[in-house]
A and B are shown apart, each in its own frame.
Chain A
Amino acid sequence: MLDTLKLPDHHYLNDGHGLKSWLLTKDHKRIAMMYLISITVMFALGGFFAAGVRLELMTPQGDLFLADTYNKFFTMHGVVMVFFFLIPSTPAVLGNFLIPPMVGAKDLAFPRINLLSLYIFWLGAAFFFYALFSGGVDTGWTFYTPFSSFSSNTNVVPTALGVFISGFSSILTGLNFIVTIHRMRAPGLSWFKLPLFVWAHYATSLIQVLGTPVVAITIIMVFVERAFGFGIFDPVRGGDPVLFQHLFWFYSHPAVYIMIVPALGVMSELISTFTRKTIFGYSFVAFSSLAIAVFGFIVWAHHMFVAGISPYSALVFSFLSFSVAIPSAVKVFNWTATLWKGSISFEPPMLYAYGFMGLFLVGGLTGLFLATLGTDIHLHDTYFVVAHFHYIMVGGAIMGYIGGIHFWWPKMTGRMYSEFGARMSAILVFVGFNLTFFPQFILGYMGMPRRYHAYPDEFQVLNIMSSAGAGVLGIGYILPVIYLTYSLTRGKAAGPNPWGASGLEWQTQSPPVTANFTEPPVVPAEPYEYTPHVAREANLV
């Protein structure tokens, strides 16, 4: 049947040609595609630094890089991956592309501000590239003071300004989503008929709007301390370095949820579509996104248990940190319950979803080890922490993002990709990821500290396993770039709804016209309606 399908004559990709039509576009879909290309470049750059780190750690001696160069490699890996890839990833690409059609709108509420956010992102990235080419930065992605504000003689200021500037891009994206979701929903599309992807992005946007200004101001404080000698964080000048950590983590812990919550939204869409069932406990899953957003703001000092904070406040933060496990677990349990008696299939996007569930579970549960005061003293600043947050960030956020790209690629480009290639990629990513990061749990437990370029001989076997896994993981990530790019010209036409999914975005042609819909979308009575009637319309039976 697919062979008979053709790409529509008019769609957003051929509505205007030439560079100018892209750079001055107000179409959320084109802006999303430009974000996609931009962050893919940044992902490759971050991957390059990760490769350097893993190559150095194949031998116990620091023989590939000098210690200072190694410090710069892990710092720039972190800065690129966190601020220039993960934070924009799902919201700026998938959210930007999908929220308007999902709510039945022509575009986001503020199309020009949407384009502005992309330019701001590029400006921030330009500052980062300036820092990179003038010698890099070595503070760690966390910019801890007083090292960053006083001691480091690398390019702290341009890097920090790059992060500061790109933060505004994130704020504007969040603002746009909040207003769009409030004001632009199609008639009849009430809050509890919205896809859970939209709920997740609403929660994420709240964090972006409320949290990002705090890190922006904190970075300015580092800047004035470094440039003008103000005593804010430097104890010699009457400041308090731990205050920096409070302010930094007030944003950066919720920032973890900026990265993961949109991926949780992707997961709900994938699981519902490929089990052909409504999500078990829709309202619980919807509100758990909001709960994660709010709880995420009250737990930050679990990053600082050994930084010299008051043990009494550490006790409270430890207790509060456990609270985030509740809404996270609600999601995992509800997805599992959705699978039960579902018509489960193993399409490529769903393979990513299965991978996500396993890895997110491990990442979440190992977080509890670190939220516990006693075990954290043993595990703090070891490879256990590195493994834990990579299970969340890579195993969770990136798996969700790439799963989402595979799910909506036919909508974004109108074409299908190589199913075999996609299955191989999903499997390689899952296997490579576990091989890379599971040994790091053991290394950390055995006491290998993070951020050193040399280590005792007995850690070598596990480190070689980790580096080998990183190679497999790298191939798993390069594959989609190849077959997705190939599909742009050679892929079979996908048709409006290749997966037989229920969302409004599947009611329009693929790729959509610039205004998204040629006729007003029909709002279903319930979200995720997979009744026989809907299946018949989608040509599934």
Chain B
Amino acid sequence: MSVHIAPKSLYISIFGALMVLTAVTVAAAFVNLGNLNAPVALAIATLKATLVVLFFMHVKYSSKMIKLVVATSLFFLTILLTETLMDFATRGWVAIPKLMH
């Protein structure tokens, strides 16, 4: 099994990017974006997590099998979010109006 050794500078720049994104999260918290407050915070957090997974956890340099494992867990996370949101998004919908009268 070959071990990929990434240059130290790469790790430092990823670390820098994570710090900058943390600052962006804090800054965004002070701006009222209305309905976009949560999506913006989550988008930044997802970006940071992606950087950690790809570089710090070496997934970018790993075998296809490891990538498949990561993709599988993301697939199941998607199921969790999609089907839960399916309930929350449609909960306020009124039942078929004609049948109600």
Residues of A that sit less than 8 Å from B by CB: 210-211, 214, 242-243, 246-247, 250, 297-298, 300-301, 308-313, 316-317
**Contact between A309 and B76, CB atoms less than 8 A apart:** no
- Given known contacts A210-B76, A297-B76, A310 and B91 CB-to-CB distance under 8 angstroms: yes
Q: Does B90 contact A (CB under 8 A)?
A: yes
Task: Say which residue of A210, A246, A297 sits within 8 Å of B84 (CB atoms).
Answer: A246
Main secondary structure of the interface of B (DSSP, over half): helix
A297 touches B79 (CB 8 A): yes
The interface residues of chain A lying within 8 Å CB-to-CB of B87 are 242, 246, 301, 309-310, 313
Contact A310:B80 (CB < 8 A) given known A210-B72, A210-B73? no
Is there an interface contact between B73 and A310, defined as CB atoms closer than 8 Å?
Answer: no
Interface of chain B residues 16 through 74 with chain A (CB within 8 A): 72-73
Contact B83 A301 (CB under 8 A): yes
The tally of residues in B whose CB lies under 8 Å from a CB in A reads: 15
A301 vs B79: C-alpha distance when bound (angstroms)? 12
**CB-based contact A250/B91 at 8 Å:** no
Cβ of B90 and Cβ of A310 under 8 Å apart? yes
B21–chain A nearest beta-carbon distance, Å: 23
**Chain A residues, Cβ within 8 Å of B73:** 210
Q: What are 26 pairs between A and B in contact, CB < 8 Å?
A: A210-B72, A210-B73, A210-B76, A242-B87, A243-B84, A250-B80, A250-B84, A297-B79, A298-B79, A300-B83, A301-B83, A308-B91, A309-B87, A309-B91, A310-B88, A310-B90, A310-B91, A310-B93, A311-B95, A312-B86, A313-B87, A313-B90, A313-B91, A316-B83, A316-B86, A317-B83
| Distance (whole angstroms) from the CB of A34 to the closest CB of chain B | 30
Residues of B within 8 A of A (CB): 72-73, 76, 79-80, 83-84, 86-91, 93, 95
Q: Which residues of A contact B93 (CB under 8 A)?
A: 310, 312
CA distance A310 to B90 in the complex (A): 6
Using A309-B91, A310-B87, A312-B93 as known contacts, list a sample of 14 further A-B pairs with CB atoms less than 8 Å apart, ordered by residue number in A: A211-B76, A214-B80, A246-B84, A250-B80, A301-B83, A308-B91, A309-B87, A310-B86, A310-B88, A310-B90, A312-B86, A312-B90, A313-B83, A313-B86
Docked Cα-Cα span, A317 to B82, in Å, equals 12
A313-B86 Cα distance, complex, nearest whole Å: 6
Contacts of B86 in A (CB 8 A): 310, 312-313, 316
A297 to B: closest C-beta gap in Å: 6
Residues of chain B contacted by A316 (CB below 8 angstroms): 83, 86
Complex Cα distance, B83 from A298, in Å, reads 8
Q: Which residues on B sit within 8 Å (CB–CB) of A243? A: 84
How many angstroms between the C-alpha atoms of A301 and B86 in the bound complex?
Answer: 11
Which residues from B are CB-within-8-Å of A250?
80, 84
